[in-house]
Every structure is written in C-alpha cells, then in structure tokens.
Structure 1
Amino acid sequence: MLISNVRPWGNEAVDLEITDGLIGSVSPHNPRLPVAGGIEGRGRLALPAFSDVHVHLDSTRIGLPFREHTGAPGVWGMMLNDRHHWRKAEVPLPERVAETLQRMIAHGTTRVRSYAQIDVDCKLEKFEAVLAAKEKFGDRADVQIMAFPQAGLLREPGTVHYLEESLKLGATVMGGIDPCQLDRDPVRHLDIVFGLAEKYQVDVDIHLHEPGHLAHFSTELIMERTRALGMEGRVTLSHAYELGNVSEAATARVIEQMGALDISWATVAPATSGKQFNLAAMTEAGIRVGLGEDGQRDYWSPYGDCDLLSRTWQLAFTHGLRQDELIEHAAAIATWGGAGIMDRSLGRLRSTSDRPGLAVGDRADLVLLAGETVTSAVMDRGADRTVIHDGRVVADQLEML
C-alpha cells in the first residue's frame, strides 16, 4: 500500500510504501505517482498512532447520559461509589467497554493498556468485559489488560485469588495501588504484586497516589524489588505526582534511579496542586513516559472523551509548555512514549527533539492528522484523521471501518 503526500512529524512531504505491515520505503513525494488502492495523504501530518497506557475501560460510561457525580473523597470512597452504581448503568458493561475501545481506535489510538478492576465484589466480571473487547478488536488495536486491585490486596479476603485467576486467563500486567496508604502493609502488598508478576512473567504497574515522603518510601521499596528480581524494564509507576513535591534533590535522585532501572512513568496529565515532573528531565534520564486518559466519563469523574490528542493538549497545558519543540515532545510521549512502555523492544525517546516511529522498518501503526504543524494539530484537535494499524486502514474521519 502506498500512502502518498504526508508529512512525518510535520516535515517535508513524502510517500510511504507499506509492505507486510511495516514501512518499506520513505521517498520524497512524487505527485505523478499513481495511488490506486492506496491512501491520499493530502499533505496531512503523519505521526505514530497514539498509545493510551493508563485507561480504565472497565468503568466507562462513554455514550451514556451524564449523571450527578456522587463520589466521596479518597480512593476508598470513590471505589465504593463505583461499586454501588456500576451494575445499574443503562447499558451492560461489555457493550460499554466495546463502544469505548471502538471510539478510542477511531480517534487514532491503536495501543491500549487498560485496567480491569478485580475484587470480591465484581470478581472477574470487569476483566471479562475488557477481555471480550480486546478479542473483538484484536485486528485493530493492541490491548494489554492489567489485573488491578482497585480496592487493595489485603482489605478484603479473597482478592488475591481472583487476581491470580485473571493472570491465568490472559492478563499481562499485574497491578498494585498505594501500598502504604490503602493496604497499610507495603511489604506484604508488594511481595504479592511482585510475586505474582514473577510467577506469571508479566509486567508490574503500581498506582501511586500517596503524598510526599510516603510516596518516596513506597517507590524505594518498588525499586528494591525491581533490582532484586531483575525486573528492569518491566515496571511502571502510574500517577506518582507527589514524587516531585519533597525536594529538588529527592526528585533528582528518584528520576536518576528510575532511569537506571528502566522504570517507566504513566501520567494522565492532571492539574495538580504541587510541582509537575519536568518531562524533559525525565526523558533525558532515560525514563519512558507514557500518557493515558484514566477514567472515561465514569463513576469517578465526568472527564474523558476517547481522544488522546485532547489529552496531549492537556499534558502540554498542565506542564506550561509553549515552545513548539516541547509541545511536539508531548505528542511524542502520547504516541511513541507509550508504545515503548507496552513494548520494551522499542527505543526510548532520547531527547525533546526525538521524533521516531516513521522510519523504514518501523511498524505501520500511524495516524494522519490535518494541521500546519504538530503544535497546531495539538491545539486544533481536528476530525480529519486516518488511522492505520499493521499497515491496514482501520478508521477514517473518526469512524471505524
């Protein structure tokens, strides 16, 4: 397949030849070249497809009427709010999950790491809904499922059993959450998380909302286990914003250690009251940074629209980015950065000017966007998009094909 007249990362127009799902050649655009059976790029931007590495498909209310927000403060209170309401939704959960994933793909996201809440209330019901959506759209997106103890590992007996069952059934990431603050036993919590990850040879992703020094303490325990078990490159910290709020020296130290252990960081670009991590410093330290939408208009919050380009705008905005290079770097995080978390064979972003993913030999997972520049595309977030997965067009103009 030929993709004619596109501008990789906003550079000069080229023609991309796709062979066996890979970029086979990149050549200057030839307007006389026939494009029968191919794609007319029309001078649009070409970027790697988006990678959402932190989304809760299992609690989505996308497509349903807005409802009053009834959540109580804190992780436990919000979790209970979800528990009390998710079964009463207007549409069954499997349909909601499939609809949300479909919308994400249509907007340009072809790599997804989704949480699946597992506890003694829902057992494997939410996991099975995410697994069904993954299988339904398996030819249009790569989906990883995380076994996630949203209610903690230790507070409700029986939780660990269901988590292990999900790993047997195909979950590829083992989750943890606030080892000190929620379960109040960080050693036992992390022993279970890393023990199951080692047993089933899956990655680890720890939700970390804990404040300041407590977040640093939990992170030190996570790093100890990463090093001791040889799990470099297989661990992600999600949220973990308070790691930047103790002191500059402490932040610099944890960034250096994360880079050395190839511990990645997934952000949802919140408006925090503290100091934001410096994205450039994290990239320079070799940390894989990825972006996600978190909840999708669910029982936790009304935010989320299935569009990671919108969340890219939010990442740039909340970090106060104005220079084109830094806004483009936010787009690189939303695309290639997350891809490198899901597939560690992909190289890390090397600097704020690194624009990978569109070279000969790269997988043909692309999104074509209207825009004068990458920065303008992030600001405008237009609907003129074509989504390509494994060398095949899977969506166009925000509609699944």
Structure 2
Amino acid sequence: MSTWLRNVRLEIGETTYGDGSIQTKTDLFHIQVAQEGVIQTIMPATENVLDANAVDMEGKLALPAFKDMHNHLDKTYLSLGWKACRPVKSLSERLALEAAESEELVETAEQRASAMIELHLSNGVNHIRTHVNIDPYIKLSNLEAVKKALKTYDQYVTYEIVAFPQQGLLEHEEMPDLLRQALESGATILGGLDPSGIDKDIEKLLQVTMDIAREYNVDVDMHLHDKGQVGFYTMDKWLDMVKEQDYKGATVFSHAFGLSKLTPPMQKQFAKKLSEYNAGIMSTIPISINSQLIPIDIMIAQGVKVALGCDGFFDSWSPYVPGDILEKVYNFCEYTGKSSERSLRESLSLITQGVTPLNGEGEQVWPMVGDEASFVFIDASCSAEAVARLPKKRQLMHKGRLYKSKH
C-alpha cells in the first residue's frame, strides 16, 4: 500500500536579482511513496489527495537524508551518565587509557551504540559508517555488540562497519588475524591508523593493510592524523601502492591533516591524484585552533569525493555531545566564510553523498519519481537556511518509513 505525504516543501529553482543576490524558490507538493520505499508520484499541492494514509507534513522542507561517514558507535558514554575526560600528555597515553577501560565498557556496548544511533536518527541521519575497535583486549566483542544495535534499527538506517585497529596493527602479533576475523564476522571495510604516529613503520603497515584488503576484496578507510610531510607521504605512498599492486577497492583518508600545510598548487595536484585513484577524503571539520582545516573546496573542485562525519562524541576523547552532522556543515561554512545562498546550499552535499535538491545552475534535480523515499523534513524555508540556522525539530523518513523516537 502506498502512502501520500501532503504539503511537502521542495526547492524548485532560484531567482537572481539585479544586485547579484540569489534566492531559492520553493513550492508545496504532494508526494506518493510506494510500498517498496521509492517515490511513485510528485504533484502540486493545489491538487486534491484523498487518502486515509496521507500524512500532512505541514509545509516542512524536504532535504535528502543525512549520512555520517565517520563515527565510533562503540566508544560513546551516552546512556551512562556524565563522565569527563582524563587529561593526557600524548596519543599513546590516551590509547593506553582507552585500552584500560575497554573491558569494562564492553558490557554496555550495545546499549551505548543504540543511544548514539537514536540520536542520529532524531537528527536526520539514515546512514552511518562506524569504526569499531578490534584489539587484543576485547577482540571482536565490540563488533558483535554494534552489529546487534544496528540490526535493531535497520528499518531506519543503513550502515558500513570498519574494522579499526585503534591500538595499532604491528605491535601486537595477533592483530592482522583479528582484523581478518572481523572481516569474516560482519565488518565491511578495513581500517587503518597513523602508520608513522602509532606503529612507527609506514611501509610495513601499509603493506600489511594492502595484503588484508586484497585478500578480502574490501575498501580501506585510514585514519591519518599525522601532520606535515609525514602525513602527506603516507597518503602518496599508499596511492602508489594502489597502482603498483592493482588494488581494486576504494580508499578513504579520514582526517588527512597532511594536506593542510601543502601549497595550494600542490593541494590541487594531489587532489587530481586522489580523484584518479578513487580515493576520497573524510573530515570532521576540526575546531581545535591547532588543527588547520584541510582544503575541502580544492578537493571538491578536482572531483574528489569529500564527506563529513561526527567522529566520536561524549567518550574518553571528548566530553561534548553535539552529535549533529548538520552542525558539521555549519562549521565548515563558517570557517571558510561561506555566506551566499548558493554556497550554503551546495555545502549540504557534504552530508548527503553529493545529492542536493538543486544543481550548480539552480535547476531542480531532486527528488524525482523513482528516487528512494528517504528525506529529512525540517522547519526551514530552504536548505541554505537549514545549514545556517540548524533547526532542531526534524523528522526522518527512510525508504518510506517515518522514524518514531522511542523517547
């Protein structure tokens, strides 16, 4: 049985005024969603729809459902009550603290992951790429718990699971086989972490990662916090190995701080290489004054797939709980000085896997009949306002199913 969504606000174009300013045009529509979760009909709201299953969206703006492309469902303290972070002097000390508490936290992993998933759903996220710690202390326990949590909400969210060697790959001899076991037990992507900063052997770590990725025919998502030449060398070396060893999977460099200190011409040149080798970039839009933002606009201009993620929140690394992927777009626009209607609107693509209601020329390209019926319904006049004002009241629809919070 199909369902009608009445009085949905859609962006339909833009108006350019004599002073060069742009305003997004919208109108109200009725949308029929087939039982299979795809859009069956879109008609002007001036036409009558008589259907007992009709849901009145009351003029709310429809946006493409959001995607968090870098998360850690197993790390959060959500649902456990307040807990501040313990200060540390180094990354190794932080990792040691995390390892020490991992066995205690594993008992509540499913509960905590569920709390984070529910927060994402309430904020309009219908896809999560989560990294899950695989280490010698808890082995695959977190993976099993996160899989259960995701299964509970799979009518509202799709997901990817990254087997993540948070404690390093080379120091513990059992780690390569633990990652293999994770890929055989539900993880869909192989993770990696700072070959120089953690394992102190760039070439060996990259090769072991490559061997496992090729063995299981999976994509790779590599956390690279290493800055400067070391971080850049790591990315460049991996891409050379991709070509030399005929690696067929896709690569994502998360954080990729090694890009920030390159000159703009070098950034542009390397962006072309990233695009050529099917390598994307994921950023959390770091707010620390010590972390310079990577050149996202240059990457996008050269055809590199760029996405955003919330990363971990309210965990041993950070006491804060914004947990809103739309806020990451807001931060990106604020930091880079974007203030025009079009630049704000186009930045939404960073959390929708490139889908926006209007294209670069201001022509409507979404939604269309036959598209997946996955939306965020939001109180805003247009997507630019949504980015700049961060309206809190949101309603997610995933493949034709409206999410109803348990709370």
- Given the two structures, how large is their TM-score scaled by the length of structure 2? 0.88
1:5-154 map, 5 Å: 5-9=7-11, 11-19=26-34, 20-30=36-46, 32-88=48-104, 92-154=108-170
Aligned mates of 2:10, 2:102 — CA distance in 1:
42
Which structure 2 residue ranges, 5 or more long, are not aligned? 12-23
Contact 2:85 2:316 in 1 (8 A): yes
Residue correspondences, number: 389
Query: Does the 8 Å contact 2:128/2:158 carry over to 1?
Result: yes
Identity in percent: 25
Could you tell me how far apart the structure 2 residues matched to 1:218 and 1:353 are? 39
1:385 maps to 2:394: yes
Q: Counterpart of 1:318?
A: 335
For 2:238, the equivalent position in structure 1 comes to: 222
Determine helix, strand or coil for the equivalent of 1:368.
strand
Q: 1:253 aligns with which of 252, 264, 269?
A: 269
Give the AA of the match of 1:173.
Answer: I
Matching of residue 268 in structure 1 with residue 277 in structure 2:
no
What is the aligned partner in structure 1 of residue 188 from structure 2? 172
Distance 1:73 1:249 in 2: 35
Distance 1:351 1:79, change over 3 A: farther
CA contact (8 A) 1:266 1:290 kept: yes
Change in 2 beyond 3 A, CA 1:90/1:225:
closer
Q: Is the 8 A contact 2:6 2:54 kept in 1?
A: yes
Which residue identity is paired with 1:363? E
2:384 is paired with a residue whose SS is: helix
TM-fit CA distance, 1:318: 3.0
Instruction: Tell me: CA distance 1:71–1:229, structure 2 relative to 1, closer, same or farther (3 Å).
Output: farther
Q: Which runs of 5+ in 1 are unaligned?
A: 340-346
Distance, in Å, in 2 between the alignment partners of 1:109 and 1:242 is 29
2:121 and 2:90 mapped to 1: Cα distance?
31
Q: Deviations over 1:56-97 (max 9, x none)?
A: 111011233222221424432222222223444597222111
Alignment match, 1:374: 383
Aligned partners of 2:269 and 2:392: how far apart in 1? 42
SS of aligned partner of 1:361: coil
SS in 2 for 1:264: strand
What do residues 286-306 of structure 1 show as CA deviations (whole Å, max 9, x unaligned)?
111111110121011113333
RMSD: 2.5
> Which of 231, 251, 258 is the matching residue for 1:242?
258
Q: Do the aligned partners of 1:284 and 1:351 also contact (CA within 8 Å) in 2?
A: no
Q: What's the offset of the Cα at 1:35?
A: 4.7
Residues in 1 aligned to 2:394 and 2:274: alpha-carbon distance in whole angstroms: 35
The answer to whether residue 315 in structure 2 is matched with residue 283 in structure 1 is no
* Separation of aligned partners in 2, 1:65 and 1:71: 19
CA contact under 8 A between 1:22 and 1:391: conserved in structure 2?
yes
Which range is displaced more, 290-299 or 233-242?
A: 233-242
The AA in structure 2 aligned to 1:67 is K
Change (3 A) 1:212 1:35: farther
Relative to structure 1, is the Cα distance of residues 90 and 179 closer, same or farther in structure 2, using a 3 angstrom cutoff? closer
8 Å CA contact 1:283, 1:351 repeated in 2: no
Question: Residue in 1 aligned with 2:202?
Answer: 186
Task: Give 1:354 deviation, angstroms.
Answer: 8.4
- What is the correspondence of 1:300-379 to structure 2 with a 5 Å cutoff? 300-337=317-354, 357-379=366-388
Question: Alpha-carbon deviation of 1:226?
Answer: 2.6
Q: 1:320 to 1:175 in 2, by over 3 A?
A: same
Q: Deviations over 1:275-320 (max 9, x none)?
A: 4334333222111111111012101111333322223322322333
Q: Give the greater-gyration-radius structure (CA).
A: 2
Q: 1:356 to 1:102 in 2, by over 3 A?
A: farther
Cα 1:54/1:175, change in 2 over 3 Å: same
Q: Is the 8 A contact 2:76 2:116 kept in 1?
A: yes
Separation (CA, whole Å) in 2 of partners of 1:173 and 1:354: 36
**Which residue of 2 is the match for residue 3 of structure 1?**
5
Distance 2:191 2:154 in 1: 22
CA distance, structure 2, for counterparts of residue 233 and residue 360 of structure 1: 32
Q: 2: CA distance between counterparts of 1:224 and 1:73?
A: 34
The letter of the residue matching 2:157 is A
Q: 1:336–1:356: 8 Å Cα contact kept in structure 2? A: no
State the alpha-carbon separation in 2 of the partners of residues 217 and 80 from structure 1. Answer: 27
Structure 2 matches for 1:201-220, cutoff 5 A? 201-220=217-236
Q: 1:219 to 1:358 in 2, by over 3 A?
A: same
Aligned-residue offset at 1:359: 2.1
Deviation track 1:93-122 (CA, whole Å, cap 9, x = no partner) reads 221111211221122111000000111112
Quote how far apart the aligned CAs of 1:183 are.
Answer: 1.0
C-alpha contact 1:178 1:207 (8 A) present in aligned 2:
yes
Q: Displacement, 1:152?
A: 1.1
- CA distance in 2 between counterparts of 1:356 and 1:289 reads 20
Q: 1:31 Cα shift? A: 5.2
Q: What SS is found at the alignment partner of 1:122?
A: coil
Using structure 1 for the length normalisation, give the TM-score.
0.89
2:6 counterpart letter in structure 1: S
Provide the secondary structure at the position in 1 that maps to 2:159.
strand
